[in-house]
Amino acid sequence: MPAGSPDCARSPTRVPAAPGAPERTYPVGVTELRFTNEADASRYTLYRGDDLVGVLDYRDDGRTVAMTRAYTVPTFRGHGYAGDLVSRAVGELEQRGDRGVIPVCWYVADWFEANPAHRGLLKRTA
């Protein structure tokens, strides 16, 4: 069945999440989710195949990363991509271990509220 068919949106499939994150459900046909840090554009991105799914904008001052906007392309909303994008960005920052996070965006703040194991990364100000 083609990924763009109407039944695709109604037939979810399980995709393994990042270590420690809950399993996510995505539409059938999802073959590849690709996370990138486009540092020159100050944004993290998530692609499904060749399609841009979401963007997480940030400001990095060398000590903290202020996450300023989480955006999911409207046609991809409702499938957990924004949470996956924030989870992957936080995971990358935790792995680096040299920066804290200021959740300027309401969605990012809500994500940290729902994921208390990652709150040690939070900073109040830059």
Residue 126 domain-assigned (yes or no): no
Residue 37 domain-assigned (yes or no): yes
The structural domain count of the chain equals: 1
Domain with 11, as residue range(s), is 6-121
Residue 1 domain-assigned (yes or no): no
pTM flag (> 0.85): no
How many Å apart are CA 105 and CA 58, to the nearest integer? 10
Place of tokens 């960005």: 89
DSSP code, position 122: B
How many Å apart are CA 5 and CA 73, to the nearest integer? 18
DSSP code, position 42: T
Q: Domain holding 55: CATH number?
A: 3.40.630.30
Q: Please say if the pLDDT value at position 71 is more than 70.
A: yes
Q: How many CB atoms lie within 10 A of CB 41?
A: 12
How many Å apart are CA 73 and CA 106, to the nearest integer? 17
How many Å apart are CA 59 and CA 20, to the nearest integer? 26
DSSP code, position 109: H
124 falls in which pLDDT band (50, 70, 90)? Answer: confident
119 falls in which pLDDT band (50, 70, 90)? Answer: very high
Q: Please say if the pLDDT value at position 57 is more than 70.
A: yes
28-41 pLDDT, tens per residue?
565 689 999 999 99
Q: How many CA atoms lie within 13 A of 35 on its CB side?
A: 16
Residue 63 domain-assigned (yes or no): yes
How many Å apart are CA 5 and CA 114, to the nearest integer? 33
Q: What is the pLDDT of residue 125?
A: 65
How many Å apart are CA 42 and CA 116, to the nearest integer? 25
pLDDT (average), residues 83-98 = 97
Q: Which residue has the higher pLDDT, 68 or 13?
A: 68
